Structure 1
Amino acid sequence: MSSLHLYNSFSRQKEEFKPITPGHVGLYVCGPTVSGESHLGHARPYITFDIVNRYLQHLGYKVRYVRNITDAGHFEEEGREAEDKVAKKAILELLEPMELVHKYTELFHWGMRKFNNLSPSIEPTATGHIIEQINMIEDIIAKGYAYVVDGSVYFDVKKYAAGYPYLKLSGRVLEDLLETTRELEGQNEKRDKADFALWKKAPEEHIMRWKSPWGEGFPGWHIECSAMSSKYLGKQFDIHGGGMDLQFPHHESEIAQSTIAHGCAPVNYWMHNNMITIDGRKMGKSYNNVIKLTELFSGEHPILEQAYHPMVIRFYILQTHYRSTLDFSNEALQASEKALKRIWEAYEVLKKLTSPESETATDKDLDKKVQDFCNACADDMNDDFNTAKVLANLFELAPIINGIKGGQIKPDALSATTFALLQTTFKTYLEDILGLQPLQQNNDSKLDDVLQLVIEMRKEARLRKDYTASDKIRDMLAASGILLKDEKGGEMSYTIE
């Protein structure tokens, strides 16, 4: 496959990728709601779209990757009780909402660094874009597709569905939706059950609230992403990504409100990763199988038999195509750990091998076989980012590398050109595109990881205003010759004497 093709969830078929602006790609991915620690369910979408970002850059595109932070609560009146998750959790942890947001945003970033995910180009926050959301809502009202009821604003789904393909992305049926939607807070003030909130009137006890033309309130969940994506990527952009669980109601609502506000469909290609199950069960609090990233890396969860290195998790996720269901188990993780060690050992061997001098291969069949597997990597990535097949190709090449080292295969069996292609393929795909790293770190790297964790603990102590604990951490490090320095903006650095 000579050009990149990806599966468009909207059309339900693979399509050749053609960016709106040649040489440039606008990519938006729904980010986390930072009302709690990131967990295993967050690993798959952000690793998946890190691969998309990396590969697009590898192809030579200049990518503007926007991934938001939802820090104004998570308002899901469709299917769940409407609540502000950030404010609710802040009360439980005796923190100001923005203290809580900072704490869990930092932990999210820590987890992304452990997975070796590249940072997005822009990471906007919902609370930083209230004006844009209000302006967008006013525009939708002016165009007759939203209505105000007692300080809340709702999108008129039936009116939209009469002229636009509502629910095409998720494949749902509006009539069924109207019959099955639960009776929830605010339903009685809507014209129809399927209507969703663009803005909600804040009750007295609601902590996070903003002034608006309709009174004090807070934005609906869906309007946040529409406002932020259009601000940084334009009215129409190339790729919008997220988990399959976001197709409805979130992405359907984004399409509807953006189409009315901007007069065009907002996205050319919709991409959705499938879910992670655990021993065949969906992740959920009722099953006690929600594993936080800190627990995953430490092994401190009843389900886990051991701690798992972040690269093992990354490798495990990449062994399955992103649109396939992925079942998480200790056996599968342990098998992935062995496989990653095996492929990385072959890579280390390859880097130390001496290139043959001749351009004539003594084993032409083997030479062609190596070329075919190397060239297949590009074809597989161009076929909807098939990382599983790329890894399979590299595993086919590993025994050849080990055979050259062990003497079973003569060094001149491959031509110099093919050997160079082999080295380039491993470096390009294993490190640059798949973003994998060795499991064994040097001592300096391990020390840095430990110190970063201690620094995070001290930051949390300071946020809680527990200055006794904060000072104790600083003093104990100083006694060991590690001096912490408080930088601007609450950041910290260290020096070792």
Structure 2
Amino acid sequence: MPLHLYNTLTRRKEVFVPTTPGHVGIYVCGPTVYAEPHLGHARGPIVYDVLRRWLRRLGYKVRFVSNITDVGHLTDDADQGEDKIARRARLERLEPMEIAEKYMWSYFDEMQALNVLRPDIAPRASGHIPEQIELTLALLERGHAYVANGSVYFRVRSWPSFGKLSNRDIEEQEAGARVEVREEKEDPRDFALWKRAEPGHIMRWNSPWGMGFPGWHIECSAMSLKYLGDGFDIHAGGVDLQFPHHEAEIAQAEAAGHAFARYWLHHYHVLLNGQKMAKSTGHFVTLAELRARYEPMYIRLYLLSSHYRSVLDFTDAGLEAAKNGYLRLLNAYREVRRQLPSAPPGRHEGLEEALDNLEREFTQALNDDLNTPQALAAFFNFVTQLNKALLERPGRESLQRAEQAFAELGEGVLGLFPSRVLEARLEGALLQGLVELLLEVREEARKNRNFALADRIRARLGELGVVVEDTREGPKWRVEPPPAPTA
């Protein structure tokens, strides 16, 4: 089955066919950088990171663009209120661009801890003012915008298809339903392309209409077209951006004469106690707080364990389950690597069959609109069969293929096994020898009924991250992942 993606624009799953064969352009709406990122901010980047990795696995060359909003996003998400970054700057008594720098790098640090690949291009809105002015001028020339009191507004009534992404009839959109009606607008549904800056407004640029700053929506239209061109392949973002932000992006670009994105992907919210996480209400848990308690790969697996088009209600129990599941995968991967150097030549029939099933089921899952829960289920089913095979010391060729599956699918596509986790404190020859020597001493102590010494060895190993389990076949041990580096 070829790759199918659910296209919000057509409201159905479609076979993905890029504009240019072999090349894919993706634009993802990035963060407005005015506060520490929370768990809700991680879902989209992780989902679209898997999309990017999977497209590369399928043989495409991908250009991945995700912006940074550092100006123009007002506190009511439309045309009223104060710029979110300027407001935060006043509270922290810093320059607005100090706020943008501070929280932009905080965001990138958290994404790195979650093993999210950096965008190929991460354009900042403040660095693309000329492009936004140029697009606004094109809309004025075509009669789709007008100047009022030093601001420029998009004339929604001039573009009858406005609402096609969110399936809203332009005539049914209630005046002032989302924003307070401004007297200077011709129609309350119109939205700002350029805002006049009040005296003393720090974030301001010169324009044909006087000093001001761009509207939030025009930024993404200008930057996506600049780096991906007309009719680019995929535009993605949170479902809350579907209206009015993405709707406005389409209208601005198309009304200015540009073909815009062909596939639209939207991920759903992460809830906390049944309510959407939001910085505006203070109802959220930051990624830094979670990283202080959990290995970031537990968080990544947790967010991939539900489909991106379903709401995920965050619970500590769910994250604990993700931890246990992750350790099961990781320990199987490590055991494969441990056995591989000394494995005899040959193949293991049961393991070969399990690998065939994994590759088939994994591919089917991700080609079905990035069904990461099903892809993970395929991996867990594989690990069950793998663990049985490992007891029989399978041949080198099968173990090499198993290692390749973990590396190419588990890390290369799902991004679950970065070298930081896999290599750090991994059971190399020295570590393995020392641990097994200590376990021999511990077993001798137990035989001599010196349980205090045996418990002390086990406890000390546990403090160092080596978990010892006593089984009928003797003691088994594994290494817990090290903590993620602190940003």
TM-score, normalised to structure 1, is: 0.81
Query: Residue 320 of structure 1: which of 289, 301, 306 is its match?
Result: 306
Query: Residue 239 of structure 2: which of 231, 240, 244 is its match?
Result: 244
CA contact 1:371–1:421 (8 Å) conserved in 2 = no
Q: For 1:9-44, what per-residue CA distance to the aligned partner results, in whole angstroms no more than 9, with x for missing partners?
A: 111111111111111111101111111111111100
The corresponding residue for 1:335 is 321
Change (3 A) 1:367 1:107: closer
- Pairing 1:449–2:429 present: no
Q: Secondary structure at the match of 1:178?
A: coil
Query: Residue 433 of structure 1: which of 392, 397, 413 is its match?
Result: 413
Q: Secondary structure at the match of 1:26?
A: strand
CA contact 2:152–2:192 (8 Å) conserved in 1 = yes
* Paired letter, 2:189: A
Q: Secondary structure at the match of 2:81?
A: coil
Residue 385 of structure 1: how far off its partner (Å): 1.3
The corresponding residue for 2:201 is 206
Q: For 1:192-218, what per-residue CA distance to the aligned partner results, in whole angstroms no more than 9, with x for missing partners?
A: 111110011111132211111111111
- Pairing 1:391–2:376 present: yes
Q: Secondary structure at the match of 1:74?
A: coil
- Pairing 1:41–2:23 present: no
Q: For 1:397-439, what per-residue CA distance to the aligned partner results, in whole angstroms no more than 9, with x for missing partners?
A: 11222112234xx737xxx776554332222111111111375
Q: For 1:72-114, what per-residue CA distance to the aligned partner results, in whole angstroms no more than 9, with x for missing partners?
A: 1413666684321111111111111111111111111111110
| Aligned positions of 1:337-416 closer than 5 A | 337-354=323-340, 357-358=345-346, 361=349, 367-407=352-392, 411=394
Q: How far, CA to CA, are the matches of 1:18 and 1:65 in structure 2?
A: 17
Q: How far, CA to CA, are the matches of 2:225 and 2:75 in structure 1?
A: 22
Residue 232 of structure 1: how far off its partner (Å): 0.7
Q: How far, CA to CA, are the matches of 1:205 and 1:70 in structure 2?
A: 21
Bigger Cα Rg: 2
| Aligned positions of 1:257-296 closer than 5 A | 257-264=252-259, 266-284=260-278, 288-296=282-290
Q: How far, CA to CA, are the matches of 2:344 and 2:10 in structure 1?
A: 49
* Paired letter, 2:326: L
The corresponding residue for 1:23 is 22
Q: Secondary structure at the match of 1:224?
A: helix
CA contact 1:28–1:229 (8 Å) conserved in 2 = yes
Q: Secondary structure at the match of 1:144?
A: coil
* Paired letter, 1:111: E
* Paired letter, 1:171: N
Q: How far, CA to CA, are the matches of 1:369 and 1:34 in structure 2?
A: 45
The corresponding residue for 1:476 is none
* Paired letter, 1:105: M
Q: For 1:304-326, what per-residue CA distance to the aligned partner results, in whole angstroms no more than 9, with x for missing partners?
A: xxx12211110001111111111
The corresponding residue for 1:474 is none
Change (3 A) 1:425 1:442: closer
Change (3 A) 1:138 1:279: same
CA contact 2:113–2:485 (8 Å) conserved in 1 = no
Q: How far, CA to CA, are the matches of 2:382 and 2:484 in structure 1?
A: 34
Q: How far, CA to CA, are the matches of 2:233 and 2:247 in structure 1?
A: 17
Q: Secondary structure at the match of 2:485?
A: helix
Change (3 A) 1:356 1:169: farther
Change (3 A) 1:17 1:225: same
Residue 267 of structure 1: how far off its partner (Å): 0.6
Say how many residue pairs are matched: 429
The corresponding residue for 1:175 is 171
CA contact 1:187–1:193 (8 Å) conserved in 2 = yes
Q: For 1:445-476, what per-residue CA distance to the aligned partner results, in whole angstroms no more than 9, with x for missing partners?
A: 979935xx4xxxxxxxxxxxxxxxxxxxxxxx
Query: Residue 228 of structure 1: which of 223, 226, 245 is its match?
Result: 223
* Paired letter, 1:432: G
Change (3 A) 1:329 1:316: same
Change (3 A) 1:372 1:182: closer
Q: How far, CA to CA, are the matches of 1:197 and 1:133 in structure 2?
A: 12
* Paired letter, 2:213: F
The corresponding residue for 2:58 is 59
Q: Which residues of structure 2 form unaligned runs of 5+?
A: 427-480
Q: For 1:347-375, what per-residue CA distance to the aligned partner results, in whole angstroms no more than 9, with x for missing partners?
A: 112233456744683x6xx7545422332
| Aligned positions of 1:124-139 closer than 5 A | 124-139=123-138
Q: How far, CA to CA, are the matches of 1:115 and 1:259 in structure 2?
A: 36
The corresponding residue for 1:489 is none
Change (3 A) 1:81 1:172: same
The percent of aligned pairs where both chains have the same amino acid is 45
| Aligned positions of 1:178-193 closer than 5 A | 178-179=174-175, 181-182=177-178, 184=180, 187-193=182-188
Change (3 A) 1:98 1:86: same
The corresponding residue for 2:468 is none
CA contact 2:32–2:69 (8 Å) conserved in 1 = yes
CA contact 1:44–1:317 (8 Å) conserved in 2 = yes
CA contact 2:29–2:67 (8 Å) conserved in 1 = yes
* Paired letter, 2:485: D
Q: For 1:30-76, what per-residue CA distance to the aligned partner results, in whole angstroms no more than 9, with x for missing partners?
A: 11111111111110011111111111111121111111110114136
Change (3 A) 1:93 1:374: same
Q: How far, CA to CA, are the matches of 1:166 and 1:216 in structure 2?
A: 29
* Paired letter, 1:242: G
The corresponding residue for 1:477 is none
Q: Secondary structure at the match of 2:262?
A: strand
Q: For 1:115-168, what per-residue CA distance to the aligned partner results, in whole angstroms no more than 9, with x for missing partners?
A: 11111111111010001100110000000000110101110111101xxx2212
| Aligned positions of 1:104-119 closer than 5 A | 104-119=103-118
Q: Secondary structure at the match of 2:35?
A: coil
CA contact 1:40–1:291 (8 Å) conserved in 2 = yes
